Structure 1
């Protein structure tokens, strides 16, 4: 009798349905970061895909959390300052953690800066499509976030795969395409961009985005852009250039429609540019701005 009760308890406690409609997949109750060995990657680039699915999955949303330079999916997931595991546990949504095979993400080669070009951006798009198909993620509820190099890739994904992503919350990045390599090298560092010396008009920055997916006229992801005022790695000027870029893409001005001091915390300033672009300027904060789970989740509508 005891063993029958124990087995029944374990059957309920240890497994919960996943996949479309909550069927076809079984996930351990002791949720853990798990590698997906075959995510039907169509790219030449081969970053790893890791997934964290909380116990009793409830939401059909997906957050893609993209690590910074000199990191990995496992390190980013284990970093106590990166709150997306806690967010997934609290609100029961799926998280995907891409893992680069290079020191930093490739945000410099034409392969990655082009729709279906075969670079890192194409590989992460394959991860998103896999998660939508296999874990019952709702199309229209896919969100992307990242810090530093991960923020750069978040911008690139917004430009190359806008049809797959609903909103982005990026921390301490640069405009999409700013790190382009004249030689075409993958994952190349760009000193001019990192120093904040790559400046252009809003129209030119917007054209960079539009050129990554020529002819696209559909919905684009809403953009939330965070940057520290004393960032010594990716100069604060990159905040202004990124705002220029995305306000132009959405056809709005670079003057905030509203500005809120001490939001989301003291010393920060929230600038809204209509409903689709939001900038958060962190006074006195360096590289990189700490992740703010509540504010990012609110931007995503989670």
Structure 2
């Protein structure tokens, strides 16, 4: 006699989880690069924030979304924010060519910026709450390096569109520049940690990606493992030098918290806009920490 009563919430529960990753075939993209745009809109939208989740090399929006170690769609369901999942048409994102390292240059960064503009208009999200991330898939052989790089490149080329960034296992913006002009070109000097410069020089790389821009910059949080064998840990300090220069603050942390957010991690704050998280004994790449990244975003 009680079976119908038990079945009803089960049916309702299944209906409540009907949201799925959906492709947007036309996002008003005028860039030469044509990556795909996929959107996850939770059944219950409770937030006007927008999160852009950048997939790894040798992956796609669909694969990245389906990866159980990537938590952003779970965060979307729990907190009700919309996520956009760009999907590269090449093996890796272009973080090397002038087209992608320039504001409105026609490269991958330009196309992702167009996705952001489309999403803000279509889903009525707050343009002051646009967040970019690339979450690690938790294994050294998963080729996650260029998502962190693209997050950094987007922060440099489209600071007017992005509020905050949380990137994993990356390099300074512009570090992977290609002398040949090729897109998605591997740079052994940068990956090996041999690309070193002053903070001002690194800061100029960012400023030159959008010449003349004087507006606000996205708050930057970056994670790196101390034994990363794919992207040298030296890139962590170079990234610190870059973004502290952009925000005109010291490379000496204003606060340093050991064993944060977990044992053998250290969180260094450089004022309120730059945060570095150093993971001792962790390789490539650093596991995603959804709660920490969401807190950085204010979600």
- Same fold per TM (> 0.5)? yes
Aligned partners of 2:239 and 2:295: how far apart in 1?
21
How far the C-alpha of 1:216 sits from its partner, in A, is 0.5
SS of 1:287's equivalent in the other structure is coil
Deviation at 1:251, TM superposition (A): 0.2
Structure-1 separation of matches of 2:13 and 2:166: 34
2:146 pairs with one of 149, 166, 176? 149
Cα distance in 2 for residues equivalent to 1:126 and 1:176: 20
SS in 2 for 1:279: strand
- Matches of 1:297 and 1:56, distance apart in 2: 18
1:139 is paired with a residue of what secondary structure? coil
Residues in 2 aligned to 1:133 and 1:122: alpha-carbon distance in whole angstroms: 17
Match of 2:280 among 255, 273, 283: 283
1:274 aligned to 2:271? Answer: yes
TM-score, length-normalised on structure 2?
Answer: 0.91
5+ residue gaps, structure 2, are 1-11, 136-144
State the partner residue of 2:142: none
Aligned equivalents of 2:132, 2:104: Cα separation in 1: 18
Aligned partners of 2:275, 2:162: CA distance in 1, in Å? 16
Q: Distance in 1 between matches of 2:13 and 2:99?
A: 45
Q: Secondary structure at the match of 2:224?
A: strand
1:149-228 → structure 2 map (5 Å cutoff): 149-228=146-225
Aligned twin of 2:97:
109
Give the equivalent residue in structure 1 for 2:138: none
Q: Which residue of 2 aligns with 1:123?
A: 111
2:245 is the counterpart of 1:257: no
Unaligned runs of 5+ in 1: 1-11, 16-27
Indicate how the Cα distance of structure 1 residues 14 and 40 shifts in structure 2: closer, same or farther if over 3 A, else same: farther
Corresponding pairs, count: 280
TM-score (normalizing by structure 1): 0.91
Q: CA deviation at 1:159?
A: 0.3
Give the secondary structure class of the aligned counterpart of 2:262: coil
Deviations 1:232-276 (A, max 9, x none): 000100000011000000000111111000000111000000000
SS in 2 for 1:240: helix
Question: 1:50 — aligned with what?
Answer: 38
Contact 2:44–2:77 (8 Å) recurs in 1 = no
1:14 Cα deviation after fit: 10
